Amino acid sequence: MSQAVMKTFIGIDLGSTTTKSVIMDESSRVIGRGITNSRSNYGTAARVAGEEARVDGRFTLFRRALTESGVLNGHLGEFLAALERSFRVEQFSDQLNDLERTCLGQLKGGRFAALESRLQEALGEAFRRLRDEAPSLYAPGAKRKSDFFRDIAGARFYTHAEAVARETGFPYEVLLNCYDKSIIEVENRPPSGGLNDHFRRALARVLAVDDAIVGQAAGDVRQVIEESLELELEESYLVGTGYGRVTLPFSKEHIRSEILCHGLGAHLMYPRTRTVLDIGGQDTKGIQVDDQGIVTSFQMNDRCAAGCGRYLGYIADEMNMGLHELGPMAMKSERPARINSTCTVFAGAELRDRLSLGEKREDIVAGLHRAIILRAISIISRSGGVTNEFTFTGGVAKNEAAVRELRKVINDNYGDVSININPDSIYTGALGAAEFARRAYEGGATPEARP
Amino acid sequence: MNATTAAPKTPVKDVEKDASMQKQKAMMAAHYDRLTDAPQTGAKVCSTFVPGNLNELIGCFDLLNNLPEVNAIQNGLRRTSGQFVLEAEKIGHSEDVCTYVKSDIGMMAKGNLAPNGRKFPNPDVLLLSYTGCFTFMKWFELLREQYKCETIMLHTPYMGDGKVTPNMLEYMVKQLKEEVIPKLERVSGVKFDIDRLRERLKKSAQAEDDLVYVLKSARNRPSPIDAYFGGIYYIGPIFGAFRGTEDAVEYYKFLRAEIDARLAAGMGPVTPEGDMGKEKYRLVVEGPPNYTNFRQFWKMFYDEGAVVVASSYTKVGGVYDFGFRHDADRPLETLAEYCLGVYTNRNLPMRIDMLTNYLEEYAADGLLINSIKSCNSFSAGQLLMMREVEKRTGKPAAFIESDLVDPRYFSAANIKNRLESYFQMIEQRRAGARSAA
């Protein structure tokens, strides 16, 4: 019997901050989504986001198959959450092993030679502690600052290495140095071993501790998962978009402008969309689409990224806060400050000046949110105004204070308009790209061979 | 060093030019030599602007014509305008001032060297014959301050109502008779001879016929010319120092034959990267180009198979394709009509009509506007024009932004992004139209 194959269509959106990937099936249904930080290496970012989307896609297939089989009635959500946590531990451990091997590889000859045996011992101990605590990092309800390996492993490695250094008297800097020299290499390498092995080991771990799934049920679950894993996800066609698209080794046929992708993506999410606003890391786009999601007009910020996502990032840095804390702070404001300039470079000066005048932090931050929305509205009006329905996408759409201002300004200028904000709005561009891939394939395009 | 980094970069290809471009280059070089030789030959120099230039009249007084905008463009193309703009800002001109002006002021401060490396002569007279751009007036005030020479101002009324009235003509002819001609006689020491002017006007009309033939050749598929990037070469002689001369007559005859040959061979335009491949998009472009990254800008079109079939910029020194020709039988009136009719002196509805007409006459896929950061005179109203043209033609339009000669305002990634989006938008709409059909 030949292996079952499912055709899939991949959209990759290489943004300035994050890289997103969406996998879709032949009937335009999204199977999986993946996101990673763009780093300085778009090739790696595209690969990692793609793999994340494939992992997510497998979970979608598990869910579908398990729902259909009915073996886990009432327990499905809990089981899948446990399986995912367990899978993440598998992946994390695998990358930790890789990191340890890479660190040890640094010892061969060269500057660490004199310290080799002691360093090997100290590193071994730090990694043993990291591995031991790995399951707790992914325990139910555990909070992680980030889901990216580098962020999690980095923070924990520093803690353990410092403790080991203190206990053994081995120089901390040498351990750090060893880590720093290895992390980029590891980060840019996909986890070794097949994904399927990780899924199988993760499943075994879950079944071993889950008292609700025993005997026949465990066997059934194993069989359903195994059958899902047998299904090959064929990458039938891929389309890349976003700022990094030109750096990818794709031919023109595999590349679409992010303006078209955002327009189409917003249309797929909300078919009645006619105006799309996207505020990304370094650009703001106002896009008009027709009833087919075809772009009829667009405007973008020119030359200068004033008032884009980076502006808020910069303000957060200036205030020594997390980006996600800005919105909630602005929501507390009762009298937003009037701020006209959206120049990112001047924002710091403006902020300090107003603080020194005694203005409240929340009022200033609320004023800054309003300023970027006003700038965005100016771009939209240049693109042709707002026509019902209106869809807001991009990283800034996650910021509640920005959304509040936007609703207000849209209402003042264009009256009663439906404003759509999708929880998955960050994937809008990748979604449009995936649909372009599907259509290209449907239209007879054949994918090129890629390295 | 490893092998990959040591590998030589792909050498930049030499710019491809056809014979008319070489001829035009030689004409320009000869003109710069005439200008920089002026102190030795004793020739007198008249500085004036491209729109509404009175080249036929200037020639009647044996004056050499020096065009500060053309000098700024040369400095943009040669990549020296950036330092001149900075120099002007150092002197005190603000960031938002017209960058032609700043390039000129900076060039004067840095030795005032012509492209041939020799010093420009000081002008003997400043002739301001077009007033549709108020910055021109301020620019000449700055030059007057610098050179303390005779200044002549011919006031050209703006075509705010979209037409030339008998009063306007009368007003301008009166100025020509009472102001312009007497002052030019005084400065040059040459007596005005109206028959000499008629001779020159005849030559202008001859060259204008051939220019229009060349511009209209873009109605063919594929178009044998690019009417924006290539068009800038074609307008050089007639907008610059050569209109009304035998040189211009010859150049346009030569150019016309060259374009005929391309047409007969079914060829597209020549570009710096070589012959244009398949013509995928036909565009109408409004607004000046960017000169500091001219080749890079053009290549963005070349790479996508986009050919400009008509442009408004190639009409700033005279609109000939709707029938106007210099008329030797009405020498002064024709000069007035010419000044009044240049593209930038036309009101917004007239510009909209022209662009709409181009989109239809040249069967273009859409309109592209390159909006110039430091030129409010050109840019004000462009978005309104764009919406109206879209509405009338149903064809997609797009908007990009750059500058004339300030390299700081050319963001290649940003412009490329918009252009690619625009081309894909046209493609997508074509596909939509096909599937609807």
Tell me if A34 sits within 8 A of A52, measured CB to CB. Answer: yes
Output the pLDDT for position A322.
Answer: 83
B373, B389, B406, B414, best to mutate vs chain A, most A CBs in 10 Å: B414
Break chain A down into helix, strand, coil percent, rounded to 5: 60, 15, 30
Per-residue pLDDT tens over the stretch A315-328: 888 888 888 888 99
Output the pLDDT for position A303.
Answer: 60
Distance CA A245, CA A241 (A): 5
Tell me if A238 sits within 8 A of A53, measured CB to CB. Answer: no
Output the pLDDT for position A310.
Answer: 81
Least confident of A76-85, A191-200, B34-43, B297-306: A191-200
Residues 6+ apart with CB under 8 A from A184: none
Q: Where are the alpha helices (DSSP H) in A214-304?
A: 216-230, 258-269
pLDDT > 50? residue B207:
yes
B300, B403, B421, B430, best to mutate vs chain A, most A CBs in 10 Å: B421
b/e map of A147-179 (b: 16 or more CB within 10 Å)? ebbbebbbebbeebbeebbeeeebeeebbeebb
Q: Give the one of B387, B401, B417 whose C-beta lies nearest to A257's C-beta.
A: B417
Nearest-CA distance A29 → chain B (Å) = 22
Output the pLDDT for position B436.
Answer: 61
Any chain B CB within 8 A of the CB of A381?
Answer: no
Output the pLDDT for position A75.
Answer: 86
- Helix (H) or strand (E) holding A276, with range, is strand A275-279
Output the pLDDT for position A347.
Answer: 75
- Give mean pLDDT, residues B131-150: 91
Q: Give the one of A243, A292, A295 whose C-beta lies nearest to B425's C-beta.
A: A295
pLDDT > 50? residue B198:
yes
Q: Give the one of A243, A296, A382 whose C-beta lies nearest to B396's C-beta.
A: A296
Distance CA B149, CA B19 (A): 40
The token pair that represents A219 in the structure block:
């066997």
What is the pTM for the complete model shown?
0.84
Output the pLDDT for position B3.
Answer: 38
Residues 6+ apart with CB under 8 A from A275: A286, A287, A288, A289, A380, A383, A384, A385, A386, A387, A389, A390, A391
Tell me if A38 sits within 8 A of A244, measured CB to CB. Answer: yes
Residues 6+ apart with CB under 8 A from A177: none
Contacts of B417 in chain A (CB under 8 A): 243, 257-258, 300
Nearest-CA distance A138 → chain B (Å) = 41
Which DSSP letter does residue B218 get? G
pLDDT > 80? residue A107:
no
pLDDT > 50? residue B6:
no
Residues 6+ apart with CB under 8 A from B343: B51, B312, B313, B315, B316, B319, B351, B354
b/e map of A201-223 (b: 16 or more CB within 10 Å)? bbbebbbeebeebeeeebebbee
- Report residue B5's pLDDT band, with 50, 70 and 90 as the boundaries: very low
Omega before residue B222 within 30° of 0, cis: yes
How remote is the C-alpha of B404 from its chain's centroid? 11
Output the pLDDT for position A419.
Answer: 96
Output the pLDDT for position A305.
Answer: 65
The token pair that represents B326 in the structure block:
């210099």
* Mode of pairing for the β-strands spanning B281-286 and B306-311: parallel
pLDDT > 80? residue A313:
yes
Output the pLDDT for position A446.
Answer: 79
Output the pLDDT for position A449.
Answer: 55
CA distance readout (Å), A62 to A66, A79, A431: 6, 11, 22
Q: Give the one of B413, B421, B429 whose C-beta lies nearest to A259's C-beta.
A: B421
The percentage of residues in chain A with a pLDDT greater than 90, rounded to a whole number, is: 49
- Report residue A191's pLDDT band, with 50, 70 and 90 as the boundaries: low
Domains and CATH numbers, chain A: 5-72+213-254 (3.30.420), 92-187 (no CATH), 272-421 (3.30.420.40)
What average pLDDT does the structure give for chain B?
Answer: 93
pLDDT > 70? residue A112:
no
Q: Which of B238, B236, B230 is nearest to B301 (CA)?
A: B230
Tell me if B387 sits within 8 A of B420, measured CB to CB. Answer: no
Per-residue pLDDT tens over the stretch B211-258: 999 999 999 999 999 999 999 999 999 998 999 999 999 999 999 999
Beta carbons of A303 and B401 less than 8 Å apart: yes
Other CB atoms within 10 A of residue A121 CB: 13
pLDDT > 50? residue A451:
no
Nearest-CA distance A24 → chain B (Å) = 21
Per-residue pLDDT tens over the stretch A28-48: 999 999 998 887 778 888 888
Per-residue pLDDT tens over the stretch A218-261: 889 999 999 999 999 999 999 999 877 777 777 888 999 999 99
pLDDT > 90? residue A304:
no
- Give mean pLDDT, residues A367-374: 90
Any chain A CB within 8 A of the CB of B421?
Answer: yes
Q: Which of B358, B39, B370 is nearest to B227 (CA)?
A: B358
Output the pLDDT for position B27.
Answer: 96
Output the pLDDT for position B1.
Answer: 37
Q: How many CA atoms lie within 13 A of A92 on its CB side?
A: 27
- Report residue B10's pLDDT band, with 50, 70 and 90 as the boundaries: low
